[in-house]
Structure 1
Amino acid sequence: MSALITGIHHVTAIAGSTQRNIDFYAGILGLRLVKKTVNFDAPEVYHFYYGNDAGNPGSILTFFPYEGLVNGRHGKGMLTTTSFSVPLEALDYWQERLKRFDIAFKPPRERFGSELVIYFEDDDGLGLELVFTDSDQRKGNSSGPVPAEMAIRGLYNVEIWEEGYERTAGILTQQLDHVLVAESGNRFRFAATNSPGNYVDIICSPDSLRGLAGSGTVHHLAFATPDAASLQAIRNRIMPLKSNITPVLDRKYFSSVYFREPGGVLFEVATASPGFSVDESLETLGEHLQLPEQFETRREELENKLLPIRVNYDQFK
């Protein structure tokens, strides 16, 4: 039987400033704002989706920007670092770009003998990495302020801190179709598909404090599954674990379920379809506020409550 999980779908994080978030991810990092919508559970708050030209699964980082929210704390039971893939030849370009925008970063270091990694943080303290590699042949955003040949290709891996790796590894391998593909010291790497954009690294960090939610932290990690049938099959797998898995939810651009893994990280499984072009053409993705059908009657009210934003690439070229 074919695997029900194909890799990572997206990562969703929490921010403390709406415009600053746009400037950092669409401006400095050069990702495409592929969707401007609202939080399904709090429609007075934006939900931004950033990714490649088409917003393909595995390229997407999303945010709930709560204006003025206090910072959280990285720690155990949390996805602490989200990594992006960039071409190896772009190392000097990105170091100079980060310096240009006064973003502190750690010197490049090797990981697993084949990856060159730079760690930095956004304005809220969210842990980010650039992984410089020639193993990723995906296309990045070709219309942003970063030249296409230097652009981010998509997600590369995520890093989860846990007391120990065994319980989380158990659900990854037994219910979510992952296998252990590499390990080094206290880092254990799992993947459903052994390719950039699909790596889940568990870091055994028993001496760390537990993470605290807030600005600059990750809300959840979403895994990709092909369609409604495979999503239901995954839900059936998770049900016996008594992990409070949700019913299947309609998120407009995908259907999904949520549950917490044993270490405390919120996991989601999301379908690959219908995708982000269901309400906008590929050419105009992210240009207009899109609302779930249940909030359309409140459009005028919500547009008055949501802060106006601007996407100005010129100042970031």
Structure 2
Amino acid sequence: MPQLPIVGLHHVTAIASDPQQNLDFYTDVLGLRFVKRTVNFDDPGSYHFYFGDDAGTPGTILTFFPWPRASRGLAGAGETTHTAFSVPLASLEYWEKRLTEKSVLVERTGKRFEEEVLTFADPDGMKIEIVGHADAGEAKAPRFATVPAEHAIRGFFGVTLLQQRAEETAAILNVMGFRKVAEEGKRQRFAAEGLALGNHIDLLVDPGASHGRPGAGSVHHIAFRAADEASQKEWREEIEKHLDVTPVLDRDYFHSIYFREPGGVLFELATDPPGFATDEPVDALGEALRLPPWLEPRRATIEPRLPKIELHKWKEIA
């Protein structure tokens, strides 16, 4: 087995429709920082947005491909149906009140494995959860958010994968170091060792679930953390014993490999380094369009074709 474990999620990538609506919801309503504005490296005619904590820490990053003409997706088997964020237990009432005041329909869905959960949808119908629990950890509160630092989203709690059967998905999670730690009705929880952000993977098993349709509001893939390139190489060799794995791809802010788990969810394993401050300082994250070196010569043709967006700084820094 590789020496360094996979400790949790690195990021989650989803599909959105209107770029400005997506930007405003995650920065204003949820108080995340706009960590990076770049393009889809495989489709440079469209944006790739990254949201996270103030420093863009792995385990806090929710990313989107905002495609203005995207039709609404339909969640189904073999997909990530819910993405859960972590906050202190004492913050649940604050978030319930804040979301209601922002005209977001929010449901207090009660206890799940002893944690309290709020469930709601973003403007494209993507299901988001806020989980209140004792191990939420310290915040790196986004500097321009109106959410008080003590209530700030810490990062990911985990994700829920809807599956028709659990056995084969559970087996690959075991290979990756995630063990079943709890079961409640149709839900099985897998977790990595430790308290890293995003270390909870829930399998919701429904043999009769139909397959979904990708589109706005659906999750494209989930990415796990590799400590560095050497660890990623070791994990690639291990995973390749069980599944087809892509070569290492340069995503500028991290290196990635991709593989589809047996139930159909696209997994990625992304390196923690080099991070999001490689092409702009932390103080200026997200403020200008950044392109990888191989696309920079095409900036004059790429940038004018992208929709105009405005980054609002909801709280001015004195």
TM-score (norm 2): 0.95
Show the counterpart of 2:302. Answer: 302
2:273 is paired with a residue of what secondary structure? strand
Q: Do 1:161 and 1:203's aligned partners in 2 also have CA atoms closer than 8 Å?
A: yes
Show the counterpart of 1:253. Answer: 253
1:275 is paired with a residue of what secondary structure? coil
Identity among equivalent pairs (%): 47
Give the stretch that moved more between structures: 306-315 or 13-22. Answer: 306-315
Q: Which amino acid aligns with 1:229?
A: A
Q: For residues 315 and 127 of structure 1, what CA distance do their matches in structure 2 show?
A: 27
1:315 to partner: Cα distance: 8.7
Q: Do 1:155 and 1:197's aligned partners in 2 also have CA atoms closer than 8 Å?
A: yes
Distance change (3 Å), C-alpha of 1:315 and 1:138: closer
Deviations 1:163-198 (A, max 9, x none): 111100100102x12111222111111122342421
Q: For residues 275 and 139 of structure 1, what CA distance do their matches in structure 2 show?
A: 18
> Are residues 1:160 and 2:157 paired?
no
Deviations 1:87-135 (A, max 9, x none): 222222211211112111112411112x100110001110100101231
Give the stretch that moved more between structures: 185-194 or 153-162. Answer: 185-194
**Matches for 1:112-151 after TM superposition, within 5 Å:** 112-113=113-114, 115-143=115-143, 144-151=145-152
Show the counterpart of 1:42. Answer: 43
1:80 is paired with a residue of what secondary structure? strand
Give the stretch that moved more between structures: 264-273 or 3-12. Answer: 3-12
2:36 is paired with a residue of what secondary structure? strand
2:25 is paired with a residue of what secondary structure? helix
Q: Which amino acid aligns with 1:186?
A: K
1:237 to partner: Cα distance: 1.4
Q: Do 1:181 and 1:194's aligned partners in 2 also have CA atoms closer than 8 Å?
A: no
Show the counterpart of 1:312. Answer: 312
Q: Do 1:85 and 1:132's aligned partners in 2 also have CA atoms closer than 8 Å?
A: yes
Q: For residues 13 and 261 of structure 1, what CA distance do their matches in structure 2 show?
A: 17
Show the counterpart of 1:264. Answer: 264
Show the counterpart of 1:13. Answer: 14
Q: Do 1:3 and 1:177's aligned partners in 2 also have CA atoms closer than 8 Å?
A: no
Aligned residues: 313
Show the counterpart of 1:96. Answer: 97
Deviations 1:203-240 (A, max 9, x none): 10112211211110000010001111111111111223
Show the counterpart of 2:288. Answer: 288
2:169 is paired with a residue of what secondary structure? helix
Q: CA RMSD in A?
A: 1.5
1:138 to partner: Cα distance: 2.9
**Matches for 1:272-283 after TM superposition, within 5 Å:** 272-283=272-283
Show the counterpart of 1:198. Answer: 199
Q: Which amino acid aligns with 1:17?
A: D
1:155 is paired with a residue of what secondary structure? strand
Q: Which amino acid aligns with 1:80?
A: T
Show the counterpart of 1:75. Answer: 76
2:27 is paired with a residue of what secondary structure? helix
Q: Which amino acid aligns with 1:190?
A: F
Q: Which amino acid aligns with 2:229?
A: A
Deviations 1:128-175 (A, max 9, x none): 00101231113142411211111111010100000111100100102x
Q: Do 2:55 and 2:140's aligned partners in 1 also have CA atoms closer than 8 Å?
A: no
- Ranges in structure 1 where 5+ consecutive residues have no aligned partner: none
- Ranges in structure 2 where 5+ consecutive residues have no aligned partner: none
Deviations 1:260-287 (A, max 9, x none): 0000000000011011111111111111
Q: Which amino acid aligns with 1:193?
A: E
Q: Do 2:221 and 2:265's aligned partners in 1 also have CA atoms closer than 8 Å?
A: yes
Distance change (3 Å), C-alpha of 1:57 and 1:63: same
